[in-house]
């Protein structure tokens, strides 16, 4: 049966909105990897640093193309940058001595929404192609790091689960870009289920990481993080049962309502915790940029739940 391709305007908007979120995520993954290596593995740290710089360059290009070509729904969601991103970068730069492109963050804060220009489609197609190629290289690097950790040949200060976690996010980004490159329209219900299944697991693991990275004296915060992990594990189990019968619209609707409330709660928890980390009011080994990073991911998921039409 004939299936109409995604129009150029939607292709431009959806691609650039994806880049504004995921290219920064990939850049920060590269930093987290870089910061986790010991001095004996300086070569791996250098490779991670190069990835960070390359993703920053792609994000710069995406920001240039995105101005007045993306929706206000995405720009106002807090998934591109938050009111904490610049401060988190500055504090992380101070603590790590790794340079961050704060000028780019200022440019992102100033982005304006607008109707996408369909004549940008060739430039966006090329940006997508380059992002796919670079992200596939990063996936290979993450896989190498994970395998060497699991074989006992490498130590880093990152959990193996965290490497698996950020590897999954990179694969998810590539899959979305590849589908956009083919101009494939989506089945909205199926897409919502897939997004929910993916981000439920991400939110569960965020809560688990937070609990493990807090100082043992932060008992109340650890308990709250553990509660969020249990909540999203339950939501994940329930959506997987719905996946077996995607025609259960009523069940899915109830789940989305619960999911939206849970995601808003964990978003608020992350926002408050990030502010307290920036103010040195929480004992932890959570670097400020990690707090803002997981906050943006919660904002991204919340935008999808509250505005599913923005996926098309």
- Point out the domain boundary residue: 184, 212, 236: 184
Give the domain CATH number at 39: 1.20.1260.120
Examine the domain organization and report whether 171 and 252 are in the same domain: no
**Quick one: CA dihedral 47, 48, 52, 55, positive or negative?**
positive
Tens digit of each residue's pLDDT (9 = 90 or more) over 126-177: 999 999 999 999 999 999 999 999 999 999 999 999 999 999 999 999 999 9
Tens digit of each residue's pLDDT (9 = 90 or more) over 256-289: 999 999 999 999 999 999 999 999 999 999 999 9
Note whether residue 79 is domain-resident: no
Examine the domain organization and report whether 191 and 270 are in the same domain: yes
**Confidence band, pLDDT 50/70/90 cuts, at residue 243:** low
135 within 8 A of 174, measured Cβ to Cβ: yes
Examine the domain organization and report whether 27 and 160 are in the same domain: yes
* Domain of residue 209, residue span: 187-312
Tens digit of each residue's pLDDT (9 = 90 or more) over 96-108: 999 999 999 999 9
Examine the domain organization and report whether 265 and 283 are in the same domain: yes
- Nearest to residue 15, comparing CAs of 122, 170, 169? 122
Specify the pLDDT at position 60.
98
Examine the domain organization and report whether 57 and 168 are in the same domain: yes
**Average pLDDT estimate for 51-77:** 98
Give the single-character DSSP code of 4: P
Compute the distance between CA of residue 265 and CA of residue 151 in angstroms, rounded to an integer.
38
Examine the domain organization and report whether 248 and 292 are in the same domain: yes
Compute the distance between CA of residue 101 and CA of residue 16 in angstroms, rounded to an integer.
19
158 within 8 A of 47, measured Cβ to Cβ: no
Six-digit token pair at 244?
A: 């077996």
How far apart, in Å, are the Cα atoms of 237 and each of 112, 243, 255? 39, 10, 11
**Domain count within the chain:** 2
Six-digit token pair at 45?
A: 């740290």
296 within 8 A of 79, measured Cβ to Cβ: yes
Examine the domain organization and report whether 130 and 149 are in the same domain: yes
**Confidence band, pLDDT 50/70/90 cuts, at residue 2:** very low
Examine the domain organization and report whether 204 and 146 are in the same domain: no
**Average pLDDT estimate for 69-88:** 98
Six-digit token pair at 193?
A: 């289920």
SS3 content of the chain, % helix, strand, coil (to 5): 75, 0, 20
Note whether residue 86 is domain-resident: no
How far apart, in Å, are the Cα atoms of 265 and each of 73, 156, 192? 20, 31, 20
Note whether residue 2 is domain-resident: no
Note whether residue 198 is domain-resident: yes
**Confidence band, pLDDT 50/70/90 cuts, at residue 239:** confident
CA angle, 88 then 89 then 92, to 5° = 85
Tens digit of each residue's pLDDT (9 = 90 or more) over 177-210: 999 999 999 888 889 999 999 999 999 999 999 9
């Amino acid at each position: 049966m004939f299936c109409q391709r995604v129009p150029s305007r939607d292709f431009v908007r959806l691609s650039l909105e994806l880049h504004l979120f995921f290219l920064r995520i990939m850049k920060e993954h590269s930093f987290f990897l870089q910061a986790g290596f010991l001095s004996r593995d300086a070569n791996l740290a250098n490779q991670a640093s190069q990835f960070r710089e390359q993703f920053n360059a792609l994000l710069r290009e995406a920001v240039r193309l995105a101005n007045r070509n993306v929706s206000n729904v995405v720009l106002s969601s807090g998934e591109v940058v938050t009111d904490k991103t610049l401060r988190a970068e500055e504090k992380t730069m101070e603590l790590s001595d790794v340079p961050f492109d704060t000028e780019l963050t200022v440019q992102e804060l100033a982005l304006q929404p607008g109707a996408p220009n369909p004549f940008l489609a060739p430039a966006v197609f090329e940006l997508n192609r380059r992002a796919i190629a670079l992200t596939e290289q990063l996936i290979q690097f993450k896989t190498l790091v994970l395998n060497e950790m699991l074989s006992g040949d490498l130590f880093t200060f990152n959990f193996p689960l965290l490497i698996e976690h950020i590897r999954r996010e990179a694969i998810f980004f590539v899959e979305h870009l590849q589908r956009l490159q083919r101009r494939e329209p989506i089945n909205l219900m199926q897409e919502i289920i897939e997004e929910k299944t993916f981000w439920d697991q991400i939110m569960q693991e965020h809560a688990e990481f937070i609990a493990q990275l807090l100082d043992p004296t932060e008992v109340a915060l650890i308990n709250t993080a553990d509660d969020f992990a249990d909540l999203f594990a339950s939501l994940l189990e329930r959506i997987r049962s719905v996946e077996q019968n995607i025609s259960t619209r009523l069940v899915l609707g109830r789940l989305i309502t619960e999911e939206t409330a849970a995601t808003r709660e964990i978003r608020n928890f992350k926002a408050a915790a990030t502010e307290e980390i920036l103010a040195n009011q929480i004992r932890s080994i959570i670097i400020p940029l990690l707090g803002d990073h997981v906050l943006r991911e919660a904002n991204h998921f919340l935008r999808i739940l509250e505005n599913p039409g923005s996926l098309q």
